[in-house]
Amino acid sequence: MRISQYFMPILRDDPKEAEIASHRLMLRAGMIRQEAAGSYSWLPTGFRVLKKIEQIVREEQDRAGAIEVLMPTIQSSDLWKKSGRYNAYGPEMLRIKDRHDRDMLFGPTNEEMITDIFRSGVQSYKDLPRNLYHIQWKFRDEVRPRFGVMRGREFLMKDAYSFDLTREAGQHSYNKMFVAYLRTFARMGLKAVPMRAETGPIGGKDSHEFLILADTGESEVFFDRDFYDMDWTNFDIDYDDVGKVAKLVEDFTAKYAATDEKHDQAEFEGRVPEARRLTGRGIEVGHIFFFGTKYSDPLGCLVQGPDGKQVAVQSGSYGIGVSRLVGGIIEASHDENGIIWPEPVAPFKVGLINLKAGDAETDQACEKIYQGLTAKGVEVLYDDTDERPGGKFKVMDLIGLPWQVIIGPRGLKDGIAEVKNRKTGERSNVPLADIVGKFS
């Protein structure tokens, strides 16, 4: 992509409304534009990141055996009346009337609808287990939308729903999602600590929130320092190996970690020696929840068991805040100059800077590298504008692409370009002929 033909409205000054780094940087880098309180348009650069995050989430859901569907954003209220949540959900739910005066709503979540879909499509225990997910916009009329996409009203969520015959089978489905979450967040360069969360009526170890640690997080968190020393990268797993999956979950839940809602100071002090007790703030990026027959009972989601009897299916739901993650990753990875994208989610991998646009030789050298990288499938944002070099450097640092390739007449005389790593700040001179080969 050439900046001269792109749409990336950069703001020179800090927007006043932004209280935290990610919101400020997303606005400044021209990634989003606010349309109403808690509702944003995704401009090209922001949209590219959103899609990359969405794709990682999708790949890891698929790998864990979940199956993708797509349900509508606007739902009928009928199923919600049956489950009892139509009234219970409160003012966070956006209620809508259609022209026939029917009660509709903009889905804040999809347990009812998916349970009904499953009910109508499955009759026998032989069709279990299944896990269905979708990645769809949700609307919650938050009391205080803030921090940009971190607490929006309209936001993109991945929500998966598991269906099993027994509690034990349901536990394996839950564990698979737990491991899928570890893998998903690790691929984005994040450590998202699983913390015990409010459990349903069944109790036990059946709800966890995944939080990234950041000073600007809305939850207060209490955890064991040992989490820092765990291996957060090596989650190769055979999802059919029930014991191994359970063991990995066990490893990541054995140590104390809780948000303020579930924190028990006495237990914390009892289990964790003082030197290892850490408190801080965190951002909830995922939440998994096993709720048994909470929806299958009222909605009549039954299957025929092996003994011929009808049984209500055991379910869980598993959410990831896809759009919140865009902000969350920035909170975890930025400096005073701007965003530092982890490569797997970066909008482009390379920023190519032409220091003297209009100079035939420089243009030609840049063009050759731009074409070469593009032909290889490397995503390049080429600053071919006639802005001054200082301004170009600032913008590249602000938008945070992992690599910068800087080409100007001075280096060209020696046949070299400068390559800068955004994260480490390291610079090196690389022969022009080697640049394309350096990236893949």
Contacting positions for Mg ion (CB under 5 A) = 284, 287
**Going residue by residue from 277 to 296, which x/- string records binding to ligand ATP, judged by CB under 6 A?**
-------xxxx---------
217 belongs to the binding site for ligand ATP (CB under 6 A)? no
196 belongs to the binding site for ligand ATP (CB under 6 A)? no
Q: Tell the smallest beta-carbon distance from residue 6 to Mg ion (Å).
A: 35
Q: Which residues between 236 and 265 bind ligand ATP (CB under 6 A)?
A: none
Q: Tell the smallest beta-carbon distance from residue 149 to ligand ATP (Å).
A: 7
The residue (of 209 and 384) whose beta carbon lies closer to Mg ion is: 209
Q: Tell the smallest beta-carbon distance from residue 286 to ligand ATP (Å).
A: 5
85 belongs to the binding site for ligand ATP (CB under 6 A)? no
Partner whose footprint covers residue 187, from ligand ATP, Mg ion, none (CB < 5 to 8 Å by kind) = none
324 belongs to the binding site for ligand ATP (CB under 6 A)? yes
Partner whose footprint covers residue 403, from Mg ion, ligand ATP, none (CB < 5 to 8 Å by kind) = none
Q: Tell the smallest beta-carbon distance from residue 317 to Mg ion (Å).
A: 10
Q: Tell the smallest beta-carbon distance from residue 208 to ligand ATP (Å).
A: 11
Smallest Cα–Cα separation from 355: which of 260, 421, 286, 420?
A: 420
140 belongs to the binding site for ligand ATP (CB under 6 A)? yes
The answer to whether residues 419 and 430 touch, using CB atoms and an 8 Å cutoff, is: yes
- Dihedral, CA of residue 344, residue 348, residue 349 and residue 353, to nearest 10: -160
Please tell me whether residue 301 adopts helix, strand or coil conformation: coil
Number of chain residues interacting with ligand ATP (CB under 6 A): 14
Q: Which two tokens stand for residue 91?
A: 């003012």
Smallest Cα–Cα separation from 42: which of 140, 120, 132, 155?
A: 155
Q: Which two tokens stand for residue 431?
A: 């022969």
32 belongs to the binding site for ligand ATP (CB under 6 A)? no
28 belongs to the binding site for ligand ATP (CB under 6 A)? no
Smallest Cα–Cα separation from 286: which of 257, 318, 263, 317?
A: 318
The answer to whether residues 268 and 217 touch, using CB atoms and an 8 Å cutoff, is: no
Quick one: angle between helices 322-332 and 21-28, nearest 10?
100
The answer to whether residues 173 and 318 touch, using CB atoms and an 8 Å cutoff, is: no
Q: Which residues between 147 and 186 bind ligand ATP (CB under 6 A)?
A: 151-152, 155, 157
Q: Tell the smallest beta-carbon distance from residue 258 to ligand ATP (Å).
A: 14
The residue (of 210 and 393) whose beta carbon lies closer to Mg ion is: 210
Torsions phi, psi for 174 (to 5 deg):
-60, -45
Q: Tell the smallest beta-carbon distance from residue 324 to ligand ATP (Å).
A: 4
CB neighbours of residue 105 within 10 Å: 18
DSSP 105-131: EE-S--HHHHHHHHHHH--BGGG--EE
Binding site for ligand ATP (CB under 6 A): 140, 142, 151-152, 155, 157, 284-287, 319, 321, 323-324
